[in-house]
Chains A and B, each alone.
Chain A
């Protein structure tokens, strides 16, 4: 599991690469939260286009980050979810809380 973090203005883009399960979630939370605490971060985009496996641990990670970014008065968007992981998103109802876009550019435009 790898996590790529980039900044576009005040938006932090977190691209998750590989498998997102309970094991990798802890590492992602640690790295992502450290970056989110930086004063330049207002909004967050979590990009799943490079995730090849995700279980419900991924939903826990998103809900946790959603609460954090909300408390900073920011917004969270999701990008790049494929059909396989979309089923888990749909089961959780999480997409009622935040928008999902095809790709990062679209998410930034609508932020």
Chain B
């Protein structure tokens, strides 16, 4: 299936860009008119992925976060990429309540939220190279007719 629209975004790893990224994703997805709950799901999942890139990928330092969004007639695929530290043990990182940064009062719920709010979450990571989080969500409220 080919996407009906696509957007690529790059921004510096500043925490104030978390809100920017999720608002961009929501605005882009709005083109196919999902309901408010589905839109909120996308916003929250993007917020989690971008926050992870900033806190864990770049450890609050300087870096570039990339976000690619592909829109389908009734679904979206969002990929958040950092070229930071990478994750040693992806399975452990995806465990609910696990955090590598307890001193920062992180809840360790980031991946759990992404998995709950999106249909599919794929994590590809290499230590020293970075992390890619690919998320897919189908919007049940949107018809299957081409846009």
Binding between chains A and B: yes
Rounded to whole Å, the gap between the CB of B46 and the closest CB of chain A is 9
Tell me if A87 counts as interface (CB < 8 A to partner B).
yes
- Kindly list chain A residues whose C-beta atoms are within 8 Å of the C-beta of B73: none
User: Within 8 Å CB of A63, what residues of B?
Assistant: 105, 107
Q: Is B18 touching A87 in the complex (CB atoms < 8 A)?
A: no
A26 to B104, CA, bound (A): 9
Determine if B107 and A56 form an interchain contact, defined as CB atoms under 8 angstroms apart.
yes
Q: When the two chains form their complex, are residues A92 and B107 in contact, meaning their CB atoms are under 8 A apart?
A: yes
Partner of A19, one of B19, B51, B97: B19
Q: A-B pairs with CB below 8 Å: how many?
A: 63
On chain A, the number of residues with a Cβ less than 8 Å from chain B's Cβ atoms is 21
A57, CB-defined interface residue at 8 Å:
yes
Which residues 19-53 of A sit at the B interface, judged by CB distance below 8 A?
Answer: 19, 21-23, 25-26, 29, 53
Q: Which residue of B lies closest to A83 (CB)?
A: B37
Q: A23-B19, A87-B116, A88-B44 are in contact. Are A60 and B105 (CB under 8 A)?
A: yes
Count of residues in B whose CB is under 8 Å from the partner chain: 26
Check: A97 CB closer than 8 A to any chain B CB. no
Contact with B along A55-92 (1 / 0, CB 8 A): 11101110110000000000000000000100110011
State the Cβ distance, B78 to closest chain A Cβ, in Å.
15
Q: A22-B18, A22-B55, A84-B37 are in contact. Are A91 and B105 (CB under 8 A)?
A: no
Q: Are the CB atoms of A21 and B109 closer together than 8 Å? A: no
When the two chains form their complex, are residues B15 and A56 in contact, meaning their CB atoms are under 8 A apart? no
Question: Which 7 A-B residue pairings sit nearest by Cβ, starting from the closest?
Answer: A59-B107, A56-B109, A23-B15, A64-B105, A60-B107, A55-B47, A60-B105
Mark A residues whose CB is within 8 Å of B: 19, 21-23, 25-26, 29, 53, 55-57, 59-61, 63-64, 84, 87-88, 91-92
Can you list 5 A-B pairs, Cβ within 8 angstroms, ordered by A?
A22-B54, A25-B105, A53-B47, A55-B48, A56-B106
